[in-house]
Amino acid sequence: MVEHGKALRQSTTAIPGLTIWDLPVHGDNRGWFKENWQREKMVAAGLPDFGPVQNNVSFNEAAGTTRGVHAEPWDKLISVAAGRVFGAWVDLRAGPTFGTVVTAELDAAKAVFVPRGVGNAFQTLEPGTAYTYLVNDHYSPTATYTSVNPADSTLDIAWPIPLEQAELSAKDRANPGLAEVHPIPPRKILVLGADGQLGRALRVVYGGLGHVEFADRTQLDLTAPELGAALRWRDYDTVINAAAFTAVDAAETGPGRLAAWSTNVAAVAALARIAVEHQLTLVQVSSDYVFDGTADRPYREDDPFSPLGVYGQTKAAADQIVTTVPRHYIVRTAWVIGDGPNFVRTMLSLAERGVNPAVVNDQFGRLTSAGELAAAIEHLIRTRAAFGTYHVTCSGDITTWADIARQVFALAGHDPGRVTGVSSEQYFASIAGPVAPRPRNSALDLAKIQSCGYRPTDTAKMLTSYVSSAKASSGKAGSR
């Protein structure tokens, strides 16, 4: 008999992501009623907001009907509509829990959430049993999935009705044992802008992982009208958009403005549509340029936008677009240095060549190494931090560009007194062509990223390591 009046509650299992749910069932002399799927309540209680798109019903006439073990390429929420079933689930995903088995009996007052990659099997315990399942991808007869034999001795599933007496398909009886099954790799991560400073840093963070793909513009043009059909997007879990038009001064020209809006906004809108359609996590890299720099404190994630120039306008527009994606991380940063031309490498070159630079001393912020930014992105994705916007720079003192230049000179063994501090107006007055306005205050508040367990590296420590590495690589290049 179905138990009535239980509270909605989830129980975790030995298989990560596989949860069993008590469902409230209301009954009287007429029968019973339950909310089989109630998004608001169930998500609040801890169920992933998995976005079901199809509802299926399986009717089984005889007790002992056994189906599985199948690991379909979608998530599903399964509930009994009539009768009772014995369920068995096997983790077939690559990782330390591969081969783990969980079993439970389900009736109308219980449901189970099965994440993709977990093998799913049921045996009916009463005649006329029916169960329903919501899935977050449309069924395709051409879909392929991993299966394992339900009688495999390694699994040692204690079927209530012995399989030799049960109803099974010939295909299920012939499925391979666990020892012959190749573990299912994670859904893929796609890194866009793989040839930039952040893209190269992400190659280091994710190097050697077979489920991470990298693409530059020659391999995947984000501005192409056929972007939605360029890849089999349902095979991906996360897209990291490290591609951007970052020439802030060029963005103030006619052609540059067009290119900036095309790459930084139109392409991001296309990615957002793809992410929504295929339930992907979209990671978008943002900039301090969305702010005008007039605040007297480090900027927080929820501070209002007030961009000064075209580049900042495009980044602010992209941020607003990405917030419409249910699964998103906006990672806002500033003053990035990495593998490629950047401010620190320029200062090193000037120091070595005997040039005494004039450097802006009225813009304030913190440096960010591309490696730091890549590590923070990996942390957010791996720990499944709450979706939203996070500020990421190195930590420590807030300084000016002139202060950083002097530190670089000193770390490279040169006199920091060779650096002269000048105002932004003085510096840009001597530059021909359009100049984008810069925010005076680019410091970002790091409390939120720290609250989710990530501790950014101190700027001074990072800069010391960066200069040492840059000098070493410069020396090697010069000796060739």
Instruction: Give the helix/strand (H/E) hosting 377.
Output: helix 370-383
Check whether the bond before 467 is cis (ω within 30° of 0): no
Beta carbons within 8 Å of 298's beta carbon, 6+ residues apart: 398, 441, 443, 444, 445, 446
Torsion angle of alpha carbons 208, 211, 214, 215, nearest 10°? 150
Of residues 420, 429, 428, 431, the one with CA closest to residue 357: 420
Return the half-sphere exposure (C-beta side, CA atoms, 13 A cut-off) of residue 444. 29
Residue 367: both structure tokens together: 């440096």
Query: Is residue 199 within 8 Å of 242, Cβ to Cβ?
Result: yes
Phi-psi category of residue 380: left, alpha or beta, with phi > 0 → left and psi -120 to 50 → alpha: alpha
Helix ranges, 287-326 (H)? 310-322
The catalytic site residues sit at: 70, 133
Q: What are phi and psi of 3, to 5 degrees?
A: -75, 130
Distance of alpha carbon 344 from alpha carbon 78, whole angstroms: 56
DSSP-derived 3-state class of residue 184: strand
Query: Is residue 84 within 8 Å of 106, Cβ to Cβ?
Result: yes
Of residues 48, 38, 46, the one with CA closest to residue 10: 46
Distance of alpha carbon 211 from alpha carbon 214, whole angstroms: 10
DSSP class of 440: S
DSSP class of 92: -
